[in-house]
Amino acid sequence: MKKLFIIRHAKSSWKDTSLDDFDRGLNKRGKKDIKFIANWLRANRFYPDLILSSPARRAKDTLEQIVKTLKLNDEIIRFDKSIYEATCDTLIDLLEQVDKRYDNLFLIGHNPALNELAEFLTNSVIFNIPTSGIFCVEFNISKWSEIKNVKGIISFFEFPKKLRQMEKDA
C-alpha cells in the first residue's frame, strides 16, 4: 500500500513585484495556514517517508513549516526543479522513479499540475486544490512505478478553510 499526499504550497505574497515568480515567499495568511495544516498533520499522525518538493521559495517555505512541526529529518527531503511549472505527465514520471521502500510520500508543488495529477490518479473531478490544501490518495501497489496503471482511492481532501469550518461546527 502506497500513500501520496499532494500538498499545494501555502498562499504566496505578491507584495514585492520586483521578485521573480520563483522567488516569491509566503504572505501572512500563508504562514498561518501552513502552520495550521502542519499541526493537523501531526495531530493525525501523518508522517512522510520521503518528501519531493519544488525548489520555488513558496514551496520551500511551506516545506520548512511542515518539517519543523513534524520534527522531520532533512535527509528525507528531495528538491526537484521539474516540479516547478510541471505538467501532470512530468509529475507522474517523477513519481514512477520513487524507490519502492517509501510508502508515505509528500509531494509539495503548484497548481495546475497538482490538481491535474489528483484528477488523473483518482479519475475524479477536483475543481481546485486550494493553497495549503492536501489531497491524499492511497494505492494498492507495491512499487511507485505502477502508479500510472491503477486508480487510487481518495483518502481525504483537506484545506484550512474547510478544517476551520469543521472545528466551528463541532
Which sequence spans correspond to the domains of the chain? 2-12+25-156
Please tell me the predicted confidence (pLDDT) of residue 14: 81
Q: Which three cell numbers stand for residue 132?
A: 495549503
Confidence bin at 168 (pLDDT 50/70/90): confident
Q: Which amino acid is at 17?
A: T
Cell numbers placing 104: 508515505
The answer, yes or no, to whether residue 82 has pLDDT greater than 90, is: yes
The CATH-assigned architecture of domain 2-12+25-156 is: 3-Layer(aba) Sandwich (3.40)
How does pLDDT run across 115-144, given as a tens digit for each residue? 999 999 999 998 899 999 999 999 999 999
**Residues contacting 22, CB < 8 A, separation 6+:** 56, 57, 84
